């Protein structure tokens, strides 16, 4: 039986507390009856994966004689930390509501690789393989996803270093979440590389500290959603003077660069051209104009289509639809009817009769 002194017991308690609470919150979010967004599901996976990785580190640090299955579970969970963090931000930043096919392939490959490796090459039988190539792949993959996430957050990071006061509470929380993951990854990497082995237990301790700092920071503003779902916009509207300036710039950018003609245009693409963050653009549209991004773009496209119908009579309706950014005649007709409550033909007829 493994016995710990008082100091070890305190360290064990502190280092495991954050992981335990992270797991509880992950399960709470997952099984909550509230409607879950795609970003929420990725946040659940992230918290659960981090918690399992930390629990593995804590238990094996204080009791190395535990069955090897614990090490396998912890390292397997670690394999999902980077992807879940990356896709959480992808879903939150771009308001992705349905899982794209490409994401399904990525996650199918990740889970398939985990299952096949765990079944065919268990840690108990192949410890050298897991402590060598497998753990190398896991950690390097984690770093790659952290770098990719950094690129996804580059606009927020730039704002943080240039004008941090412009960040909303939700955006600050996002950056804090990203930074926390970078710190934990760095601690484990340094320990694994043998540069600072004594830091190994610092990873679990860091998670506990960062977990409770996150809770304190997140609730201090009382503007963010209490379940850590940063996909919601802030309740406070953008100042009217700023909103007018941004809306004018948005419309000018759409007109001058004809961004609406791209059938695959995304909120992040427009935000980049307007030189604001995707979250700020989403907030501007939702709170100040009362529209979603898709509604705003559709209305803008139909407005341009109406101009073409009345000025370019030689063009077919299908050609006009393609000209304003619709990749099919049926999609154009459906959008036109939704916005104008009539068809392009009837609209043209009514205009001709004036």
CATH number of the domain within which 288 lies: 1.10.10.60
Residues 260, 142 share a domain? no
Of 203 and 73, more confident: 73
In a domain, 176, yes or no: yes
Residue 142 has a pLDDT of: 92
Averaged pLDDT, 339-351: 86
Give yes or no for residue 65 having a pLDDT over 70: no
Q: Is 199 exposed, middle or buried (0-12, 13-18, 19+ CB in 10 A)?
A: middle
Predicted TM-score (pTM) above 0.75: no
Q: Is residue 232 part of a domain?
A: no
258 vs 26, 118, 176, 251, 273, CA distance in Å? Answer: 43, 51, 36, 10, 11
Of 66 and 196, the structure prediction assigns the larger pLDDT to 66
pLDDT in tens, 301-340: 999 999 898 888 888 899 999 999 998 888 899 889 988 8
CA 187 to chain centre: 23
**Contact assessment for residue 287 and residue 237, using Cβ atoms and an 8 Å cutoff:** yes
Share of the chain above pLDDT 90, in %: 18
Please check whether residue 294 lies inside any domain of the structure: yes
Does 236 or 103 have the greater pLDDT score? 103
Look at residues 186, 221, 256 and tell me which one is the last residue of a structural domain.
221
Q: Pick from 160, 187, 221: which residue ends a domain?
A: 221
The total of other beta-carbon atoms located within 10 Å of residue 301's CB is 24
Q: What is the DSSP letter of 262?
A: -
**With bands split at pLDDT 50, 70 and 90, how would you rate the model's confidence at 171?**
confident
Q: Which of 298, 262, 257, 290 is nearest to 274 (CA)?
A: 257
Q: Which domain holds residue 197?
A: 6-221
Of residues 234 and 189, more confidence is placed in 189
How many domains does one find in the chain? 2
Average pLDDT for the chain? 78
Domain boundary among 193, 221, 249: 221
The answer to whether residue 233 sits within a structural domain is: no
The answer to whether residue 230 is domain-embedded is no
For residues 150 and 187, state if they share a domain.
Answer: yes
**Under 8 Å between Cβ of 231 and 95:** yes
The answer to the question of residue 231 being in a domain is no
Q: How far are the Cα atoms of 10, 83, 90, 196, 289 from residue 144, in angstroms, in the given order?
A: 35, 9, 15, 22, 38
Closest CA to 288 of 346, 332, 335, 248: 248
Contact (CB, 8 A) for 175 and 153: yes
Q: Are residues 23 and 122 in the same domain?
A: yes
Q: Clarify whether residues 202 and 283 are in a common domain.
A: no
User: In terms of domains, do 206 and 267 share one?
Assistant: no
């Amino acid at each position: 039986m493994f016995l710990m002194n008082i100091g070890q017991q305190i360290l064990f308690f502190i280092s495991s507390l954050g992981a335990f609470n992270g797991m509880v919150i992950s399960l709470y979010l997952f099984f909550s009856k509230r409607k879950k967004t795609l970003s929420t599901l990725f946040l659940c996976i992230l918290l659960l994966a981090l918690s399992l990785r930390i629990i593995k580190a804590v238990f094996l640090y204080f009791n190395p004689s535990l069955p090897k299955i614990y090490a396998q579970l912890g390292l397997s969970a670690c394999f999902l930390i980077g992807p879940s963090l990356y896709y959480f931000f992808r879903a939150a930043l771009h308001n992705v509501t349905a899982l794209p096919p490409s994401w399904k392939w990525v996650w199918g490959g990740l889970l398939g690789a985990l299952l096949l490796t765990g079944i065919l090459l268990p840690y108990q039988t192949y410890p050298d393989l897991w402590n060598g190539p497998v753990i190398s792949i896991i950690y390097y993959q984690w770093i790659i996803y952290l770098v990719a996430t950094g690129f996804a957050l580059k606009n927020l990071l730039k704002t943080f270093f240039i004008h941090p006061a412009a960040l909303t509470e939700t955006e600050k929380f996002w950056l804090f979440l990203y930074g926390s993951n970078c710190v934990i990854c760095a601690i484990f990497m340094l320990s694994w590389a043998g540069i600072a082995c004594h830091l190994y237990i610092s990873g679990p301790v860091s998670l506990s500290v960062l977990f409770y700092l996150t809770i304190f920071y997140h609730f201090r503003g009382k503007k963010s959603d209490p379940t850590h779902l940063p996909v919601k916009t802030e309740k406070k509207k953008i100042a009217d003077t700023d909103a007018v300036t941004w809306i004018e710039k948005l419309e000018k950018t759409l007109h001058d660069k004809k961004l609406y003609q791209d059938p695959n245009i995304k909120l992040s693409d427009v935000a980049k051209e307007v030189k604001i963050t995707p979250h700020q653009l989403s907030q501007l549209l939702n709170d100040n104009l009362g529209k979603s991004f898709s509604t705003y773009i559709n209305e803008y496209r139909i407005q341009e289509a109406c101009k073409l119908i009345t000025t370019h009579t030689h063009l077919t309706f299908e050609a006009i639809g393609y000209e304003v950014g619709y990749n099919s005649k049926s999609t154009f007709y459906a959008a036109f009817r939704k916005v104008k409550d009539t068809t392009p033909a009837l609209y043209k007829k009514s205009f001709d009769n004036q």
